[in-house]
Structures are given as C-alpha cells and as structure tokens.
C-alpha cells in the first residue's frame, strides 16, 4: 500500500512543490545541471562498485558493468552439483539472507513461455541471477554486502568448475 501511494500516486502537494522547483526556481538549465550531477554521482558509484566486484567476485559469477540503469546483474557460476538440485536458487537466496545480503532473485524478472506447469522453484532455477542496486546504498555498504555475497558463493562452490 505504501509503495502505491509513494510512487504511483504522489500527493498533490508533492507535485506542486516539484513543479514550482522545476518551473520557477531551476528552469530548464537548472534541471539539466541537476541531471548531470545525478549522472556523475551514479557513474562514480558504479565505477567504484565495479572495482569491488572485480576484486571480490571474479570467477564466482559473471556480470557486465551497467551502461545504463542502476543495477548489476550477477549470473552465478554454480557448480553442477548445486544446479542439479531442484530449488537450488531458493537455497542461494536463503543463504544470502542468512548472511545479511538482500539481493533480488532473477526469478522475479524471468519470462517463461507456457510456465503454468512450473513451480516457483522450477522457475527460479531457470534464472541463476541476482540483481544488486547501486543507486541508494553507499559504496561502503555495498562493498560489505559483496564481501558477504562472496562468502555465500564460495560456500556453494561457485567458480570451482
């Protein structure tokens, strides 16, 4: 309910304040300066987190530095012994939670044709991905989360094959 009110139907007061800021205070030039500053901030965060990923996660999973958006997508290099177990991605997610890492499982975004016959776990197992956002958290917090993720992936034998 909170999400619906805050992102889908913002209050009229908030909209009025934003409109005043954009039209009467910043103008087009101010808006462009604001967007440039945001892009620079996100680029710096992304680049720092890319370096942390290279240091901590190389060989355990695969990713590409995002060119747009605010997410790193990690494709897990799970060994066959893990991949062959039904529900293995549910196990990965639970281990992440137990280690204080909250990433979005790839199953939330997978599109599988004719998937009515698949269980939630079967869908999850088809998407060995985790999504990490770098827009909100400070790089130091993301670094700690990635170190914890590394611990989880090593415990699962990622990169061993």
Taking only the tens place, the pLDDT of each residue in 88-124 is 888 999 999 999 999 988 888 777 676 677 777 776 6
CA dihedral 135, 138, 141, 145 (to 10 degrees): 20
Is residue 31 scored above 60 in pLDDT?
yes
Q: At what angle do helices 139-155 and 27-57 cross, to 10 degrees?
A: 30
Q: What DSSP state is assigned to residue 71?
A: E
Burial tier of 61 (Cβ tally within 10 Å: 0-12, 13-18, 19+)? buried
Rounded to the nearest angstrom, the gap between the alpha carbon of residue 92 and the centroid of all alpha carbons in its chain is 15
Query: pTM here?
Result: 0.79
C-alpha span between 90 and 94 (Å, rounded) = 6
Alpha-helical runs (H) found in 11-101: 12-20, 27-57, 80-83, 88-98
Give CA separation, 120 vs 27, 87, 89, 100, 141, in Å: 48, 9, 10, 23, 30
Give CA separation, 105 vs 39, 95, 126, 144, 146, in Å: 26, 12, 11, 19, 15
Residue 73: predicted pLDDT: 93
Mean pLDDT calculated for residue range 59-84 = 92
């Amino acid at each position: 309910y909170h999400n619906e009110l805050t992102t889908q139907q913002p209050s009229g007061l908030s909209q009025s304040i934003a409109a005043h800021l954009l039209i009467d205070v910043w103008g087009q030039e101010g808006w462009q300066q604001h967007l440039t500053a945001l892009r620079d901030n996100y680029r710096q965060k992304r680049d720092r987190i890319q370096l942390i990923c290279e240091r901590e996660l190389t060989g355990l999973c695969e990713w590409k530095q995002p060119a747009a958006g605010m997410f790193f997508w990690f494709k897990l290099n799970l060994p066959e012994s893990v991949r062959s177990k039904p529900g293995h991605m549910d196990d990965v997610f639970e281990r992440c939670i137990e280690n204080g890492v909250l990433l979005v499982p790839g199953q939330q975004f997978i599109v599988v044709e004719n998937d009515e016959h698949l269980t939630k776990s079967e869908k999850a197992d088809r998407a060995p991905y985790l999504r990490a956002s770098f827009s909100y958290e400070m790089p130091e917090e993301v670094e700690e989360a990635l170190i914890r993720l590394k611990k989880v992936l090593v415990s699962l034998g990622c990169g061993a094959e």
